[in-house]
Chain A
Amino acid sequence: MVWRRFPWDPLREMARIQGDLGRLFGESTLPGARREFPPVRVWTGDEGLRLVARMPGVDPASIDVVVEGDTLTVKGERPAPGKGEERTWHRRERGAGRFARRFALPFEIDAQRVEASYLNGLLNVTLPRSEAARPKKIAIATA
């Protein structure tokens, strides 16, 4: 029997599971470890989830958004500045290279209807809840 905290917070569960998945895939859990890339903003509603990931300078061809079971994976690559001519660097503050981030989904998603777009460095993902997982309003029969 699973005892749930009341009130149950599905997104806290999601963050906890994400932490577990992170550890499973070898990400550092030390305090002060670099924050996850890309940072996200997530909303929930009866219709499903909306997610915006802030990821400027990513090669659009490299972006991969996959929903598999109860996990959403966002992958991509930020190309490293080209070599070629001689350069003197004055400032290097941006990150580069491949990244992958996994999120545990709090409810079942209709993977066929997931939509994603990349505009101005923001990845917008719409994840509709599957029909079976939608909240159903229950009619009360009164005698």
Chain B
Amino acid sequence: MNEQVNTRRTFAPATDIHETADEYALAAEVPGADPESIDVTYEGGVLTLRARTAEISAEGFALAVNEFADGDYERAFEVSDRVDADAIEARYEHGVLNVRLPKAKPETRKVIVVTS
């Protein structure tokens, strides 16, 4: 069995993160990411973003200027465990991955009756 080795470079996308009263919001720059390949997971207070890109090339042409590198994206962020994981939303637009993490509602106080 052949092992698949990933020889592509991986970049950490430039990201803005802000917090409001109701949510955390992230915007990560992943230009060229294939929408099908975008992977957003949240576990134990950590949000992980992954995306793959296709190589940018032009058949029949000669490369003359190259100011950026091809590569995939990956980055993990410690957010908070006070996030409502079921309500996390992600949207990919114009090469930017926007993730909204609504904060969990404060836990209601539960009173336990003692039997004796």
Interface of A is mostly: mixed
Stretch at the interface among B40-48, B62-70, B82-90, B108-116: B62-70
- Judge whether A136 is part of the interface by a CB distance below 8 angstroms: no
Contact B32 A41 (CB under 8 A): no
Shortest Cβ gap from B84 to chain A (Å):
18
Contact A43 B64 (CB under 8 A): yes
Residue among B16, B35, B64 making CB contact with A120, cutoff 8 Å: B35
Chain A residue with the shortest CB-CB distance to B29: A56
CA distance A90 to B60 in the complex (A): 45
CA distance A54 to B56 in the complex (A): 11
Stretch at the interface among A26-34, A66-74, A80-88: A80-88
User: B residues near A, CB below 8 A?
Assistant: 14-21, 24, 27, 29-35, 56, 58, 60-68, 94-96
Provide 29 A-B residue pairs closer than 8 Å at the C-beta atoms, listed in order of the A residue. A10-B64, A14-B64, A15-B65, A40-B68, A41-B67, A42-B64, A43-B58, A43-B63, A43-B64, A45-B62, A54-B68, A55-B31, A56-B30, A56-B94, A57-B29, A57-B95, A88-B18, A88-B20, A89-B18, A94-B14, A94-B15, A94-B27, A120-B32, A120-B34, A120-B35, A120-B95, A121-B30, A121-B94, A122-B95
Q: Please give 17 more A-B residue pairs, beta carbons under 8 A apart, in addition to A57-B96, A120-B95.
A: A39-B67, A45-B62, A56-B95, A57-B27, A81-B27, A85-B21, A87-B18, A89-B16, A93-B15, A118-B94, A120-B32, A120-B94, A121-B29, A121-B33, A121-B94, A121-B95, A122-B32
